[in-house]
Each structure stands twice: as structure tokens, then as C-alpha cells.
Amino acid sequence: MRTLYDPVIYDDTQAVPSYWEATGPARLDAPPLTTSESCDVAIIGGGYTGLSAALHLARDHGVDVKLLEAGHIGWGASGRNGGFCCLPAAKLSIAQMIKRYGLEETKRFYAAQVDGIDLVRSLGADENIDFDLCGDGNLEVAHHPSRLAELEESARALSELFGIKTETFSRAAFTEIGHDSNEQFGGIKMHVGFALHPLKFAIGVGAAARRRGAALYAHSRVVAWERDARGRHLLKTSGGELSAKRVIIATNGFTREGMHPALDGRLLPVLSNIVTTRPLSGEELAAQSWHTDNPICNSRELLFYYRMLPDRSFLFGARGDVTGREADGLRVRDWMKRRLGEVFPAWRDVPLSHFWRGLVCMTRKMTPSIGQLEEDSSVYYGYAYHANGVNTAPWAGRALARMIAEPSHRDAELPAMLAGPPPRFPFAGLRPWYLRAAYQFYRLRDARG
């Protein structure tokens, strides 16, 4: 199986050096697969998609389900993201969505996105998962005066078309409710979503799935996928094998080429990086007029995303490098430290506590892909949340569970924007070069304001 980035990015034997690992719960002690097992539904991937599918299959439908995860449970993006439970999981503007899918389908998409946020909240309550929920919405900041009108327009569309309550703020007003910075020229608030501890959420959903009857195997990477004489799927790991009637692929950005031919050439994994600082003092917070627990994105194409953590450490995220090599990662970390200090000058000299990176998943479709393979209806998939999987991946997992257990619900639930696979990239081996070109283009656009 081939990878698009340096092998270090896929090294699931390594712990992720994240703030979340340092402040999170104990790992779920799921054993590796060491025997020959069988089940009705096998899931490959122990992030939000796979864990939510396992929980819903076992709890709501009594299905015999087993999950194989290459690292520890939550090792992938789900255990190391920014913890923004927000919307939308798409790289299309609202106008582009309406043009491509029509207004009714765009409304269904946004309704599903809000439902995904509600699902995260209700999983916390129903399964007794404490994931440090904080904030009462999501903020977007104009990084340049020319970008505020665009944000205001999108706030209007969100409330008028999709019933999502929004507010807009001038620079001075945003300083009162959010923060001040060298790249704050007003912003908007969406009154949906919140922030959470992503690893606590992943482990909590995993523990719930297991409590409800799903079997979870960690350190069990699928290295070969065959069909036996009876047509059952045979998933082989280094220690054992799992035979299943149906399979859910839930490997998202960490999918290797060659795992299943149906996915080859369709995914564009992209590195996202996060740094955190040591906890800030009251004086340091006041120096940037910091007032909010809500997660914040700015209006750059290559955006910065940031939030204040419960212990007042500051989390700052940005795009990553294009090779995955350690040295390139460290160069991006230094660039992020510099940019953090340029945007928030009062925090220029505050030391960093953690730096880590991971893969999000984009596609040419620019919206998520959830469904059943056309060429093999016993294989299901959910991926490409376009860096917005905290609400969307658990929702996709539940949708996949329903598709399997109640096939008649399939078409009723999935908005067109989420259904079906993306097209392949032409000359798929050139994807890293497409990414380089896209970054150059976006850098120029961001520089123009």
C-alpha cells in the first residue's frame, strides 16, 4: 500500500505529541487482533466515523460489529484536531452549493450539519461522555477590511436561507465579544456549535461502542483485503484476520492507496498543523482583549483557526507542509510561531507547549462522500469532511449504520451533497503538485486582502 506523504505521517506506532494526549483520558485498552474472527460488519478505522458507526450499529440495531484500528483508538485526526464543532463540511461557497445542487438540497445539507452538531451534544449526554464542551457558537473574523462584507453576506444567507441564527460585528464590537488583533477587522457569530476536547470525545465514543457490544481492536492495521470462496471479506492484519459479510471504510485522510481500488486516486489528504502555548496570564489575555471560549476561524483561504483552551493555553492552527518530512514540519512550526506573534503581538514571546500535525481529507467534489460502492454493495464508506469532521464524521457513522440496518432509509436521509463518491484526480500521482499549485494561488489571493 502506498502513501502520499513521508512515512512518518503514517507511523501509528508513535504517540501523537499533542496537547490532547497530554491532557486527555487514559487510552482505551483495546487489544490487537491476534486470532481469526468473524462478524457481520467489519469497520476499518477507529476515528469518529468508524467509532460512531460501531456504536450505532451495536446500540441501535443489535448488529454484530468489529472494528480494526491501525494505531490506538482515536490515533488519527479524531484524536488530534482543533475541537471545533462547527459547519460547514465543504469547500464550496453557499452560492456554489445552490448552483450545483439547488436550494432545497443545500437546505438539507445545512440541516444535516446542524443535526451533526446536535448528535455530538447528545452523544455526550446519552453516553455520559465528558468532553470539556465550551462556548456557545462559532466565530469568523475578517483578516482584512475587504473581507468583512463577504462574511456579512454569508451570515445573512445562513440565517435567511437555513434558519441559523447569526450576528455581525464591527471591529470595535468584535473586540468586546471576541478579541483584538492585527488581523481582526470585524466578524460574525454563528449561534451553532461549540468547542470540545477531541480525544476525550473519541475515546468516549469508543468506550460507549464497546459497552454496547462492539468489539474494538487497536494496533491492528489492515494490510491485505481479500474475498474468500463464500464471497466474504477477509481483512488481514499482521496478527490475525477478520472475516465479514460487510465492510465500512472509515480511514479518511489516513487511507493508503491500494487498500481498496475503489478509493485509489479519489482522496487528497492535506496536512493541518496545530501549536499550543503555555497557559496565558490574565494580563496577557487582557493585552489582546480576549473574551471568548468560542472557536474562531479567520477569512484567509489558507485560514488560521484558533481558540482559548479551558486552562487558558492558546491553540493556533494552520495549513501544513506538502511533503510530511519532519524537517518541513518543523519549518512550518517556526512559521506558525512567527505568524502567531504577528497576529497577536502581545503573545509574540510566549513559549509553545506542543506542536503536532495530521491529515484532513479533501476531494475534487469539495463536499463529503458517504455511501455504498456501486461495484460492490457490501462495502460502505464515509470520508472527505474537508477539515470539518467533528460534527460530520459522527453523523456519517450514524448514517452508515442506518444504511446497513435499515436500507429503506438510505435515500431519505442523505442530502445529495453528501451522497456518492468524488471523481478521481487526473494523473493522481501528481496530487502533491496540485496542492503546491493551489497553495501558491491561495497565498496570492490572501496577500491581496
* Sole window of 70-78, 92-100, 176-184, 428-436 interacting with ligand FAD (rule: CB under 6 A): 70-78
Kindly state whether residue 221 participates in binding ligand FAD, applying the rule CB under 6 A.
yes
Contact between 182 and 345 under an 8 Å Cβ cutoff? The reply is: yes
Closest CA to 382 of 4, 81, 43, 57: 43
Kindly state whether residue 45 participates in binding ligand FAD, applying the rule CB under 6 A.
yes
Contact letters for ligand FAD, residues 273-312 (x by CB under 6 A): -x--------------------------------------
Kindly state whether residue 186 participates in binding ligand FAD, applying the rule CB under 6 A.
no
* Cis preceding linkage at 7, omega within 30: no
Task: Give me the torsion for CA of 345, 351, 295, 319, rounded to 10°.
Answer: 90
CA distance 395 to 361: 16
C-alpha cell at 75: 490515533
- Among residues 154, 251, 277, 372, which is the contact residue for ligand FAD, using CB under 6 A? 251
Pick 46 or 346: Cβ nearer ligand FAD = 46
CA distance 252 to 265: 13
- Among residues 5, 19, 75, 316, which is the contact residue for ligand FAD, using CB under 6 A? 75
Half-sphere exposure of 218 (CA within 13 A, CB side): 18
* Sole window of 261-269, 279-287, 387-395, 423-431 interacting with ligand FAD (rule: CB under 6 A): 387-395
Kindly state whether residue 259 participates in binding ligand FAD, applying the rule CB under 6 A.
yes
Opening angle at CA 367, ends 75 and 168, nearest 5: 95
* Sole window of 24-32, 69-77, 107-115, 432-440 interacting with ligand FAD (rule: CB under 6 A): 69-77
Rg (CA), the chain: 21
Distance of closest approach, residue 385 Cβ to ligand FAD, in angstroms: 4
Give the Å distances, CA to CA, from 356 to 6, 114, 323.
15, 29, 15
Kindly state whether residue 367 participates in binding ligand FAD, applying the rule CB under 6 A.
no
- Among residues 9, 28, 63, 78, which is the contact residue for ligand FAD, using CB under 6 A? 78
* Sole window of 43-51, 111-119, 127-135, 426-434 interacting with ligand FAD (rule: CB under 6 A): 43-51
CA distance 250 to 395: 13
Q: Which residues bind ligand FAD (CB under 6 A)?
A: 12, 44-50, 68-71, 75-78, 80-84, 221-222, 250-255, 259, 272, 274, 317, 358-360, 383, 385, 387-390, 393
